[in-house]
A = this chain, B = another copy of it.
């Protein structure tokens, strides 16, 4: 795995919406970014009592086994810190490719878009 280069790797922005974190992935996620993102999310959950994480992947064209594993790991880590993760905005072509690769992301809850993901989190969270 590549470690982040000393000159600050590009970061994935993590927004707070009330007690939910919103992460929008765009394009490709490199090794260092994935690790950084996982650290960001977990520290934010612990620091600010976040109860849900929405990962928006509508800007992602390809989900390979690496990204699939990163997403599953983020969800597992969040769950251990008592937050639920919803994966939002998966494109149909991405879903088909994932299933063809045998990556069905069993531990992840999905929603069609960010709105529905937030709705899902607010419904079950109460």
Contacts and interface: CB of A to CB of B under 8 A. Distances in A.
Interface of A: 38-39, 42-43, 45-46, 49, 73, 76-77, 79-82, 90-92, 94-96, 98-100, 104-105, 107, 110-112, 116
How many copies of the shown chain assemble into the complex?
Answer: 2
A80 B73 contact: no
A81 B58 CA distance: 11
A39 B92 CA distance: 8
Nearest to A44: B92
Contacts of A42: 92, 95-96
A99 B80 contact: yes
A80 B101 CA distance: 13
Which 8 pairs of residues, A with B, have the shortest CB-CB distance?
A: A42-B92, A80-B95, A76-B104, A46-B92, A82-B110, A76-B99, A77-B95, A77-B99
A45 B94 CA distance: 13
Contact of A49 (B39, B95, B104, B112): B112
Contact of A81 (B43, B80, B95, B100): B95
Contacts of A39: 92, 96
Given A73-B99, A99-B73, A104 B79 contact: yes
Contacts of A90: 80-81
